[in-house]
Amino acid sequence: MSVKAVVDLINQHEKDAVQRLVDWLSIPSVSTDPEYAPDVRRAAEWCAAQLREAGINAELRETGGHPIVWAEHEGAPDYKGPHVLFYGHYDVQPPDPLELWNSPPFEPVILPADGDGPDTPGERIVARGAVDDKGQVAAFLEACRAWKEVAGGVPVRMTIMIEGEEESGSVNLERFVEKHSDTLNKADICVISDTGMLGRGKPAITYGVRGLAYTEVILHAGDQDLHSGQWGGRCPNPINELTKVLAQLWDGDRRVTIPGFYDNVLGLTPGEREEWKSLGFDQEAALKRIGLDSAADVGEAGFSALEREWARPTCDINGIYGGYMGKGAKTVIPAWAAAKVSFRLVANQDPDSIVKAFRAWLDDHTPPGCRWEFHDHGGGWPGNVSTESKELEAARRAIATAAGVEKAALIKTGGSIPVVGLLKKELDLDTLLVGFGLDDDRVHSPNEKFELECFRIGMRTHAHLMDEFMRMG
Ligand code: BES
Ligand code: MN
Ligand code: MN
């Protein structure tokens, strides 16, 4: 009973695997919108049923919000490897704006390759959640199914926790983790497939995700909207004032000006600088794919694009609104203006302290006659993992074999997966991030896709990873 038989079976049954993924993607599990709650639950049930078909006794556990797909699996009687916690999420982002989709977001379609170069999309499945994260979780589910068929059961001892609220801030996860800490403490390593590769044919292990602090601020001026002829120049216009304040968030080097913002930031090591340079990342090509040229390579002075994404904290305004936003013109001084402002954080920045510092900075910059209203939208700690564990070595071998490359790259990502920092902080548990996405997968955007070649690499990697874990004693 070898891993070869498992991989052969995965190859033979690829069509069925794709069909199963299509079924899952057809369930609109949008976690942020309460209207979808029954669909979210249906997607969880679908996932639990798949695990049960693979001989894993999965169930739904309530969180107060959307349920978590949960399983505790013993593995083979002679299993001596690490106890693995598998984490993923079955919820998806809202599909909006709908009019930009070439096919309905919850009616998955398989599209043929556009070409065969490294810069053009290959054969792919298009739907909301295709790569983030159903397709990637499905790669794991398919590996479980194949191991069960070949060996009678999944050999690895594991706990499975597949969340339904990742895309809406994991608001109930911390409490759930605390409540289940006895079981979760038994895990030696967490495995997550919710990140990307370095590029087509360049599989990678991600050893760091950034943290996030998301806030919303409203600047209030008068208690009513006003005629801008009568009142313009006579009293504060909150949009003028808000934009003036927010523009001061960055200095000429594009560094964030909030006092103390960089205090705890762990700098890049000289080793990292060299290693990342040697990855041969082509920023100009990446910019080109989003319609920009090299003049657009901007960000914090003194750092390369990869360094800025992977190792530097940032501040972004994600939305700004207020005043007249309808058709045509309306001469108005609005009563208020608002912005959604978020920070991506790196080790060792604490999201709560950053939000506090931001609010104190805003208070110091309150425009005359105005007042602030603050809202917090949560976030999560940055998560960094050691690149020297034997589990990571095992994963590197699994990926290399599965993808037919000599060595998997070691990368970081600028995205955030709150559970990584949470598990480290609460349980001192390290995570292996083995993800199969591509830069141009349109994560969170219309026409999200997952390439079938990435799906194949994912299924095979999980099959090999289970084999590697079995060999560890
Ligand atoms: N899977 C993504 C994170 C990600 C995106 C990793 C791109 C690598 C590349 C995850 O589902 C996500 O979208 N996270 C959110 C954070 C969450 C708190 C809403 C993010 O990064 O914005
Ligand atoms: Mn995700
Ligand atoms: Mn996401």
pLDDT tens-digit readout, 346-357: 999 999 999 999
End-to-end CA distance of the chain: 19
Question: What CATH number was assigned to the domain covering residues 3-209+383-472?
Answer: 3.40.630.10
Atom of ligand 1 nearest to the CA of 444: 13
Q: Which tokens belong to 424?
A: 């480290």
pLDDT mean over 326-344: 98
DSSP summary character for residue 223: S
Spatial distance between the Cα atoms of 190 and 432, rounded to a whole number of angstroms: 6
As a whole number, the mean pLDDT across the chain is: 97
Strands 189-192 and 84-89: parallel
Q: In this structure, are residues 190 and 85 in contact, taking their beta carbons and an 8 Å threshold?
A: yes
pLDDT tens-digit readout, 54-66: 999 999 999 999 9
Count Cβ atoms within 10 A of the Cβ of residue 403 and give its class: 0-12 exposed, 13-18 middle, 19 or more buried: buried
Distance 340 CA to ligand 1 centre (A): 17
Return the ligand number nearest the Cα of 416: 1
3-class DSSP assignment, residue 197: coil
pLDDT tens-digit readout, 182-210: 999 999 999 999 999 999 999 999 999 99
Ion ligand 2: residues, Cβ under 5 Å: 132-133, 194
**pLDDT range class, residue 127, cuts 50, 70, 90:** very high
Q: In this structure, are residues 357 and 381 in contact, taking their beta carbons and an 8 Å threshold?
A: no
Query: Which position has the token pair 């499975």?
Result: 160
pLDDT tens-digit readout, 435-460: 999 999 999 999 999 999 999 999 99
| Nearest CA residue ID for atom 20, ligand 1 | 416
- Please give the angle made by the CA atoms of 137, 138 and 143, to the nearest 5 degrees: 105
Strands 431-435 and 371-380: unpaired
pLDDT tens-digit readout, 206-228: 999 999 999 999 999 999 999 99
Phi-psi group of 447: left, alpha or beta (phi > 0 → left; psi -120 to 50 → alpha; rest → beta):
left
Distance 206 CA to ligand 2 centre (A): 14
Spatial distance between the Cα atoms of 334 and 224, rounded to a whole number of angstroms: 7
279: number of Cβ within 10 Å: 15
Q: What percent of the chain has pLDDT over 90?
A: 97
Pocket test for ligand 1, best of 136, 166, 376 (most atoms within 8 A of CB): 166
pLDDT at 295: 98
Q: In this structure, are residues 49 and 79 in contact, taking their beta carbons and an 8 Å threshold?
A: no
Pocket test for ligand 1, best of 132, 309, 343 (most atoms within 8 A of CB): 132
Select from 97, 89, 59 the least CA-distant residue to 168.
Answer: 89
pLDDT at 199: 92
**pLDDT range class, residue 134, cuts 50, 70, 90:** very high
Residues with CB under 6 A from ligand 1: 132-133, 166-167, 169, 194-196, 212, 380, 413, 415-418, 443
Select from 206, 270, 215 the least CA-distant residue to 246.
Answer: 215
Q: Is residue 381 predicted with pLDDT exceeding 70?
A: yes
Q: What percent of the chain has pLDDT over 70?
A: 100
Atom of ligand 1 nearest to the CA of 206: 8
| Nearest CA residue ID for atom 7, ligand 1 | 415
For residue 298, the Cα-to-chain-centroid distance in whole angstroms is 23
pLDDT tens-digit readout, 287-311: 998 999 999 999 999 999 999 999 9
Per DSSP (E only), the strands in 94-243 are 109-111, 124-126, 158-163, 189-192, 204-206, 208-209, 211-220, 226-227
pLDDT at 349: 97
pLDDT at 473: 81
pLDDT at 1: 65
Atom of ligand 1 nearest to the CA of 416: 21
Atom of ligand 1 nearest to the CA of 168: 19
Domains in the chain: boundaries = 3-209+383-472, 211-265+313-380
**pLDDT range class, residue 169, cuts 50, 70, 90:** confident
pLDDT mean over 125-141: 99
| Nearest CA residue ID for atom 15, ligand 1 | 416
Atom of ligand 1 nearest to the CA of 167: 19
Q: Is residue 117 predicted with pLDDT exceeding 90?
A: no
**pLDDT range class, residue 141, cuts 50, 70, 90:** very high
Q: Which CATH class is domain 211-265+313-380?
A: alpha beta
